[in-house]
Structure 1
């Protein structure tokens, strides 16, 4: 197999986020600069699956900008042979990374990012602790970095690769995230379960609120209704429903972003669902849960008929990663990008794992 042309580092850096869209598992390990340099080192070394050429992480940390300029096949072969030899080698004066960065390249960029997302192949039969080179790019993935492929041809090539190698669930999640972000300056129309509609101010919080009302309620409630919805410019309360349920809603209190009601749940008791929509902060922490419960009791709700949900845009989004440790036990977590799934944070007890499946 011939050695591939070496693209510019900027080309690899710019294309990785296009190849791995938001919503892909462990995307952060697939698109960062050290991953771009990992991919570029594999291309430089001709480590394309089927060529019987492989690299090890030490070659990434020892690569340098100066070495990349020596791009003819003889220079590349000589460097690879030298770097893989057992002879003691002087590190380049401007090597990309410190020696102890090998583990990050191996364990994060490759093992948690590129291999699970079908970009890199691991050489079979080589033990984990072996120093033998064992990583190579899939040829279809390596082809996406050809400088000769540009514009609509690049977009088509990336799309074809994603359809072939990324999971259906991952791409569906990525599509939802992309669609939600597509019209960030437009007002957000929201259709209630009753069929009535409102528009909310532009922004991520409004898009998550829309998903809560239109999707969460449909997937997880039997007969959903919106009792309360709040945003900066709107405070919407269904007075007819409030009166029918003999409730008292004090709008001066710190109410959640959305209050949903299931009027016909499976067990026959009306269920009230407090939902906090989180774009930056404000999840249902233990303190917030207790405050909402107090509001609910004052309003006439019963404790056993309450549920608490924190809604985020996506599992990979920074608000969830940064706030997960604050989420209250005995509450739920829901993501607009995966609308049919729900995380339950169940507090202690004597139930075994086999009983929770």
Structure 2
């Protein structure tokens, strides 16, 4: 049989960030070196949808650089047949240690490449079967053709995403791309009461806009904006009348966070402090304590105060960088996944000891 032409794993690696742009689910594990080498092994062994050829994760660990350079069909087929047999024999120069096969199977194949539609799993195969069970999805494999020029590849990658990623995934990618690209001269933000304000463009402004226009009406009954600031503590808007009506004094030193929201729906209004994080500055324990002092001074007990750190995307570096410092009892919200909140609960689980 004729096997598909080979693209080096290095070139596969170079194409993956274009196929899976910022905002893609589990992007890090979809575009890292292990992913590229896993795809290379699938192509090397002919494991592509429709061929009924499949690989096991341990075959990725058993590939070597010397073997990868043997590109004739006979050499590839012989390796595929030999490498799928269970063996404890040492493989000099193997790409990965034996004990990495579970990580390749779970982190790379199951939770990244299958989730993103790049890899398919053999149907009807018992969990304990030693047979190969993974192959590249057919249209995705076509993106790895060596003869694609850059423009053609980029167009085909976009077409593949439109066809094979779900609407939620595509929306998330679009939102993240918009946040990274910025807009025109200014960002126009519409408040819950219909008023508009101008902000400087940029990722932080995009997140702030999403907080006011999407987060506030989605999670608050009757939202209002008390204060909105930009990077550098430039005050875009502050509603002193609304603040006065609920007994809140806005400090002159601008120690409030990027956004202060209020929910006037409950019998006792809910005060919501929001920090917008594009690079740094989440609601950590110290920040939470300082904000509690402001809210308590206005007569808001802790149970009527909420703390939110807003990000562009859960897979982005800002969240990964700051997640370990987020305060217990606060929330994280992502503009790319607007329907969900992550709660960092400071309360114990309701489990009684036996």
Q: Same fold (TM over 0.5)?
A: yes
The TM-score, its normalising length taken from structure 1, stands at 0.86
Aligned residue in 1 for 2:66: 66
Q: Deviations over 1:287-334 (max 9, x none)?
A: 432321111122344544322212111111233234334433443321
In 2, the alpha carbon distance for the partners of 1:261 and 1:44 equals 58
State whether residues 62 and 91 of structure 1, in contact with CA within 8 Å, keep that contact through their aligned partners in structure 2.
Answer: yes
For residue 103 of structure 1, what is the aligned residue in structure 2? 102
- Deviation for aligned residue 1:196: 4.0
2:255 paired residue number: 254
Please say if 1:34 is aligned against 2:16.
no
2:57–2:104 Cα contact (<8 Å) kept: yes
User: Are the equivalent residues in 2 in contact too, given 1:248–1:300 (CA < 8 A)?
Assistant: no
Gaps of 5+ in 2: none
Superposition deviation, residue 350 in structure 1: 8.1
Q: C-alpha separation between the residues in 1 aligned to 2:31 and 2:312? A: 20
In 1: Cα distance, 2:328 partner to 2:76 partner: 56
SS of residue in 1 equivalent to 2:143: helix
* Counterpart-to-counterpart distance in 2, 1:65 and 1:78: 16
Alignment of 1:1-357 (within 5 A): 2-85=2-85, 89=89, 91-93=91-93, 95-183=94-182, 187-231=186-230, 232=232, 234-235=234-235, 236-252=237-253, 254-263=255-264, 265=265, 267-348=266-347
Quick check: 340-349 or 134-143, which moved more?
A: 340-349
Determine if contact 1:12/1:40 at 8 Å carries over to the other structure. Answer: yes
Task: State the distance in 2 between where 1:325 and 1:338 align.
Answer: 20
Q: Go from structure 1 to structure 2 and tell me whether the alpha carbon gap of 1:195 and 1:88 turns closer, same or farther (over 3 Å shift).
A: closer
The one-character-per-residue Cα deviations of 1:99-153 (angstroms, maximum 9, x if unpaired) are 3322221221112111222222223344445443222112121111112333443
C-alpha separation between the residues in 2 aligned to 1:121 and 1:59?
16
Instruction: Give distance in 2, aligned partners of 1:295 and 1:86.
Output: 65
CA deviation after TM superposition for structure 1 residue 49, in Å: 2.4
Q: Cα offset for 1:187?
A: 4.5
Secondary structure, in 3 states, of the residue corresponding to 1:49?
Answer: coil
Give me the whole-angstrom Cα distance separating, in 2, the residues matched to 1:303 and 1:75: 69
| Structure-1 separation of matches of 2:337 and 2:136 | 30
Distance 1:90 1:68, change over 3 A: same
Per-residue CA deviation, residues 160-210 of structure 1 (Å, 9 max, x unaligned), is 322332222111111111111122796544333344444434443232122
Report the Cα distance in structure 1 between the residues aligned to 2:106 and 2:339, rounded to whole angstroms. 31
Residue range with higher mean Cα deviation, 114-123 or 283-292: 283-292
Unpaired segments of 5 or more residues in structure 1?
353-357
Kindly report the root-mean-square deviation, in angstroms, between the aligned alpha carbons of the 2 structures: 2.7
Deviates more, 1:343-352 or 1:150-159: 343-352
Number of equivalences: 349
Check whether the contact 2:263–2:271 (CA below 8 A) recurs between aligned residues.
yes
Change in CA separation of 1:126 and 1:251 when aligned onto 2, cut-off 3 Å: same
Aligned equivalent of 1:355 = none
| DSSP 3-state at the match of 1:145 | coil
SS of the residue 1:174 aligns to: helix
